[in-house]
């Protein structure tokens, strides 16, 4: 381990802005993608359910 | 096990649903391990200082951007050859994730370039061809959304994807073919020293993590595409009248 303290870790030898921007941007993109897929799936399933209820098949309880 | 039966969307849909949690779990575990190795085990680079740690996201993102394009083009080609709708759906599901990794490769590259080269961006062969890859992903996706007929959209974007695959070897070999500011391939730099070994290990673990993440996300997206495209209501939630059917989730 090469970090003397937490502030040293976050400073990244003076490159903190560049290093943390890179990692945080990557994390945000991935989180956004997963969230967007979650919502897309919910919307697709809601639409499917609506189509199912509107259809002739009334046996689905 | 007969694999060809999973080429049918109705069979592939539940299979993908079962696989997603496993790929996602492996991705999370490997990311934690890779980040720990990247920040706490890999030593400071004697030339670049701490800024080199950006490679732990930059290189995996750049590799994925190229790799996913080739996979997308292969699915597009298979779709064209066999007229298989699942192949086109796979190609459609890959494009946004590939575009995201291309964007991240360019962004993290700029973050590395500014302190190292003194410039966010230079028009060198590697950077320019990677930017073109981003436009190609955008083109594949825009072409699809601009054509209403699904079958025509499938084929048009497949042709676009296949023609554009020529750019991938150009990106990959650009650092050899032209005199670029971007450095050459570093994976061969592992000369057996402990320092290079832990750096390389962290980078490879992050690459496998991004790979697993991509598979999980693409399988989730292809399931969405199936739900949106096909109106078969019994895929996901079986009616109570059919309790004997094996459920995916």
Count, residues in chain A: 61
Evaluate the CA torsion angle B84, B20, B15, A56 in order and state its sign. negative
Does the residue A48 lie in any domain? Answer: yes
Axis-axis angle for helices B194-229, B9-36 (nearest 10): 150
Check pLDDT > 90 for residue A1.
no
Tokens 């750096």, residue? B199
For chain B, the 3-state helix, strand and coil shares in percent, each to the nearest 5, are: 75, 0, 20
Q: What pLDDT is stored for residue B82 in this prediction?
A: 92
Q: Phi, psi at residue B239, to the nearest 5°?
A: -60, 160
Mean pLDDT along residues B80-99: 94
Please give the Cα distance from B107 to B109 (Å, whole number).
5
| Cβ–Cβ gap B224/A34 under 8 Å | no
Both structure tokens of B154: 């499938």
Model confidence at B191, pLDDT cuts 50, 70, 90, reads: very low
Please give the Cα distance from A25 to A31 (Å, whole number).
10
Please give the Cα distance from A16 to A9 (Å, whole number).
8
Chain A residues touching B111 at Cβ < 8 A: 18-19, 21-22
Out of A1, A13, A61, the one facing B240 most closely (by C-beta) is A61
Check pLDDT > 60 for residue B100.
yes
Check pLDDT > 50 for residue B193.
no
Does the residue A47 lie in any domain? Answer: yes
* Chain B contacts to A (CB-CB under 8 A): 35, 39-40, 43-44, 49-51, 53-54, 57-58, 61, 96-97, 100, 103-104, 107-108, 111-112, 114-115, 213, 217, 220-221, 223-224, 227-228, 231, 233, 236-237, 239-241
- A9-37, pLDDT tens digit by residue? 888 888 989 999 999 999 999 999 999 99
The total number of structural domains in chain A stands at 1
Check pLDDT > 60 for residue B32.
yes
| Cβ–Cβ gap B115/A41 under 8 Å | no
| Cβ–Cβ gap A3/B40 under 8 Å | yes
Both structure tokens of A17: 């802005």
Q: How many CB atoms lie within 10 A of CB B190?
A: 15
| Cβ–Cβ gap A41/B223 under 8 Å | yes
Does the residue A44 lie in any domain? Answer: yes
Count, residues in chain B: 249
Per the DSSP assignment, residues forming a β-bridge with B45 are B49
Whether this model's pTM surpasses 0.90: no
The topology (CATH level 3) of B13-229 is: 1.20.120
| Cβ–Cβ gap B241/A60 under 8 Å | yes
Which range marks the domain in which residue A36 is found? Answer: 25-54
Residue B65: C-alpha distances to residues A30, B49, B97, B164, B192 (Å): 14, 27, 8, 13, 28
Does the residue A12 lie in any domain? Answer: no
Q: How many CB atoms lie within 10 A of CB B173?
A: 14
């Amino acid at each position: 381990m090469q970090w003397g303290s937490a502030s040293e870790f976050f400073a990244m030898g003076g490159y903190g802005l560049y290093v943390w921007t890179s990692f945080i941007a990557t994390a945000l993109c991935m989180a956004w993608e997963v969230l967007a897929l979650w919502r897309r799936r919910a919307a697709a399933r809601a639409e499917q359910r609506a189509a199912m209820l509107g259809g002739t098949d009334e046996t689905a309880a | 096990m007969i694999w060809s039966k999973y080429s049918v969307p109705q069979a592939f849909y539940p299979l993908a649903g079962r696989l997603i949690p496993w790929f996602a779990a492996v991705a999370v575990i490997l990311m934690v391990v890779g980040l720990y190795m990247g920040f706490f085990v890999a030593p400071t680079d004697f030339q670049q200082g701490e800024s080199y740690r950006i490679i732990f996201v930059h290189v995996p993102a750049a590799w994925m951007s190229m790799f996913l394009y080739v996979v997308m083009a292969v699915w597009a080609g298979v779709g064209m050859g066999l007229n298989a709708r699942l192949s086109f759906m796979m190609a459609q599901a890959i494009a946004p994730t590939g575009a995201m990794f291309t964007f991240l490769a360019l962004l993290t590259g700029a973050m590395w370039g500014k302190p190292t080269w003194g410039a966010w961006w230079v028009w060198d062969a590697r950077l320019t061809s990677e930017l073109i890859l981003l436009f190609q992903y955008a083109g594949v996706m825009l072409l699809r959304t601009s054509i209403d007929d699904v079958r025509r959209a499938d084929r048009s974007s497949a042709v676009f994807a296949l023609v554009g695959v020529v750019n991938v070897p150009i990106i990959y070999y650009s650092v050899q073919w032209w005199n670029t500011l971007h450095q050459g391939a570093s994976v061969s730099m592992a000369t057996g020293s402990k320092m290079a070994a832990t750096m390389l290990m962290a980078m490879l673990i992050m690459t496998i993590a991004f790979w697993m993440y991509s598979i999980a996300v693409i399988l989730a997206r292809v399931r969405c595409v199936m739900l949106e495209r096909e109106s078969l209501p019994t895929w996901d939630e079986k009616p109570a009248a059919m309790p004997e059917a094996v459920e995916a989730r």
